[in-house]
Structure 1
Amino acid sequence: MSVAKSLSGWSFRPLHGALALIMVPLFLAGCSTTKEKPSVPTGEGGYYKVGKPYQIAGVWYYPKEDERYDATGIGSWYGPQFHGKRTANGEFFDQEQLTAAHPTLPMPVLVRVTNLENGRSVVVRVNDRGPFVNGREIDLSRKAAELLGYDRQGTARVRVQFVGRAPLPGIPGTSTTQIAGQDSFTAPKPVMDESEKRSINVAKTTSVVATTLAPPPGVKTAPANAVASLPAPTTPSTMRPVEDAGLQPPEPDGTVEQVPVPPRTSIFVQAGSFRNFTNAESVRQKMLSQGVQNVQVSPTMVDGVKYYRVRVGPLSDVSTADASMKTLTQNGHAGARIVVE
């Protein structure tokens, strides 16, 4: 077991499980629901935060606001070893509350997480950074993983959808209203200081290959051969918006929806996504020369624009994908990620 490390006040921890950013056309109209005892964090001691770009194990992450965030990947969970410790935005982690860690989303926000293996779907509060095992999409609290049915197996193929900003009761700028006889909170925008704004502007100018521009103060320069972990556009026109209705986002109250999911999904390791086919083919040829097998260039349309994805797979399971990720990373493809579709 590795030891938790700290960087810029964030908690970095060992994880159970995986993934990245590619979409599948799912239909999230709830068919049935069950409800557990509500377990909602108060937000006491926390604050709204976007965060600066950061680097872990050679991979760059670029936190940003993204109200259209809708991605699939491998979900993991964490629990007892971090119970009672501070999260990345200053709250206290409680493994019995419905919370999560995410590499790039602001904190705190609400997201809907759907287990693509059994159709169970819950809303959770993102208030921490992580996971930092290559290929993992989100790290849920023990309770949230239990509700989704993968606490025992450790990982699952999941879909993560942005729902809305989460409340911070008692924080200035957070207003309380009554909707359907219950308190609801309107949250202010997460805070970004000037250095963070400059960091995001730098991130926007980068391609899939790491930028050669001078980074803002305090941000490490990526190696020349590193691939930036900028999320490639991944909102296919076939994706439907979150089906949660109402004026306010639903609170993570333990409601488990049973939703339709594909009968089968496939796992790939994606080395990059390019608008130029020649660039994609060049990466594929390099991977083949490095002994990587089953490499494909796969076209996809995102918001009316064609992209060419360089991917290994389909792969049989998460363990095989992890091994492939390790190989690609060792060969210089630092931005590779596991994707599900």
Structure 2
Amino acid sequence: MINRYAIGLFAILANCTHTVAPPSPSGVKYTVGDPYQAGGEWFYPREVNDYDATGLATVITDGGPAYTADNESYDPDALAAASPVLQLPCIVTVTNLVNGRSVDVRVNDRGPMQPGRILSVTPRVARLLSFPSGGIVEVEVKLNQSQTMALQSSLGAVPKLTAAPVAGITAQSLAPPGGGAATGGVQQLGPSANGGNLNQTVTLSGQVTQGAPGPGPLWVQVPGFGNERDGFRTLARIPGLPARVVPVYGGDRPLWAVNAGPYHTVADADAALQQMLQVGIPDPEIIVR
């Protein structure tokens, strides 16, 4: 049996792709974007002020559009990532749950275009966090509220995020895998389209911090039921899956979710997610718990 702690080391698949291009003359643009469909599932980009999600991340490969969704040129050496739903650009902390390594990156593109994936990262970020080459990794993605608000404001967008106090965290700085300085150079943005200078607001160092590993089994979750009965009606549509209705907490009212699992391989979790999509259940997602 495959050890669940090594899930990220075994699954290989095609990911969001890019071709390097010169900087865009029109500058970086704050964007959210319209809902879109990919891989048989709808995705709904949105502005958020609180985002802390677990799931599966992939590595961006070459060969796709030269510019990101927020009008930056794609750079495989940037501290950057793609999200299917977050406002662009924003700053998040990405943690590889298999080894506990974390780094701050800028989300500036849409992707990965596959259900069950919450992020794709540049090759540089993948190296810093010791992703397996071309593989899939269990991650946590957490929005940095204060830096995202500053970035949004510098682009001329009306600030909509409320910065929250950040608890003190003790972490060890690491050199990137293979040697070299932990900073590896500073990743900054150039002038925005409206004349603001993002260099004054956001600086990403590339410094890696080491926390405790936190891998876990995979679950396929259908979240957001306001009524427990709705959860059980969805459960009845997937009798072949080991699923249950569970309470979830968020906002000011109780919600319910359908959780199928646990699964100890990406292939098994993907199969369960596809079964849900095939019977018309919307918005299933793969989480780590």
The correspondence for 2:208, drawn from 241, 256, 264, is 256
Corresponding residue for 2:42? Answer: 60
TM-superposed CA distance for 1:153, in Å, is 5.7
Q: In the alignment, is the contact (CA less than 8 A) between 1:123 and 1:250 conserved in 2?
A: no
Q: How does 1:204-219 map to 2 (within 5 A)?
A: none
TM-superposed CA distance for 1:190, in Å, is 6.8
Corresponding residue for 2:55? Answer: 73
Kindly tell me: are residues 135 and 323 of structure 1, through their superposed partners in 2, closer, same or farther at Cα, counting changes over 3 Å?
same
Matches of 2:168 and 2:23, distance apart in 1: 25
Q: How does 1:1-341 map to 2 (within 5 A)?
A: 14-15=14-15, 45-82=27-64, 85-152=66-133, 154-163=135-144, 164-165=147-148, 174=154, 187-189=155-157, 251-262=203-214, 264-288=215-239, 292-303=240-251, 305-341=253-289
TM-superposed CA distance for 1:191, in Å, is 10
Matches of 2:24 and 2:135, distance apart in 1: 27
Instruction: Kindly indicate whether structure 1 or structure 2 has the higher relative contact order, using CA contacts under 8 Å at least 6 residues apart.
Output: 1
Unaligned stretches of 5+ residues in structure 2? 1-12, 17-21, 171-199
Q: Give the root-mean-square deviation of aligned CA atoms.
A: 3.2
Matches of 1:252 and 1:244, distance apart in 2: 18
Kindly tell me: are residues 61 and 191 of structure 1, through their superposed partners in 2, closer, same or farther at Cα, counting changes over 3 Å?
farther
TM-superposed CA distance for 1:298, in Å, is 1.5
Encode CA deviations 1:243-280: one digit per residue, 9 max, x unaligned.
589xx986322100112343x41211113431211111
Q: In the alignment, is the contact (CA less than 8 A) between 2:237 and 2:279 conserved in 1?
A: no
Identity of aligned pairs, percent?
Answer: 32
Larger deviation, residues 272-281 vs 119-128: 272-281
Matches of 1:132 and 1:334, distance apart in 2: 16
Larger deviation, residues 51-60 vs 327-336: 51-60
Q: In the alignment, is the contact (CA less than 8 A) between 2:231 and 2:257 conserved in 1?
A: yes
Matches of 1:158 and 1:242, distance apart in 2: 21
Encode CA deviations 1:283-338: one digit per residue, 9 max, x unaligned.
111211xxx22111112332453222112100111111111112221121242111
- Whichever residue aligns with residue 112 of structure 1, its letter is T
User: What number of residue pairs does the alignment pair up?
Assistant: 236
Unaligned stretches of 5+ residues in structure 1? 1-12, 17-40, 175-186, 193-239
Kindly tell me: are residues 80 and 244 of structure 1, through their superposed partners in 2, closer, same or farther at Cα, counting changes over 3 Å?
farther
Matches of 1:297 and 1:158, distance apart in 2: 24
Question: Secondary structure of the residue that 1:269 maps to in structure 2?
Answer: strand
- Whichever residue aligns with residue 237 of structure 2, its letter is K
Encode CA deviations 1:25-63: one digit per residue, 9 max, x unaligned.
xxxxxxxxxxxxxxxx98873211121222224422222
Question: Secondary structure of the residue that 1:136 maps to in structure 2?
Answer: coil
Corresponding residue for 2:195? Answer: none
Matches of 2:73 and 2:149, distance apart in 1: 15
- Whichever residue aligns with residue 60 of structure 1, its letter is W
Corresponding residue for 2:191? Answer: none
Question: Secondary structure of the residue that 2:125 maps to in structure 1?
Answer: helix
What is the TM-score normalised by the length of structure 2?
Answer: 0.72
What is the TM-score normalised by the length of structure 1?
Answer: 0.62
Q: In the alignment, is the contact (CA less than 8 A) between 2:241 and 2:272 conserved in 1?
A: no
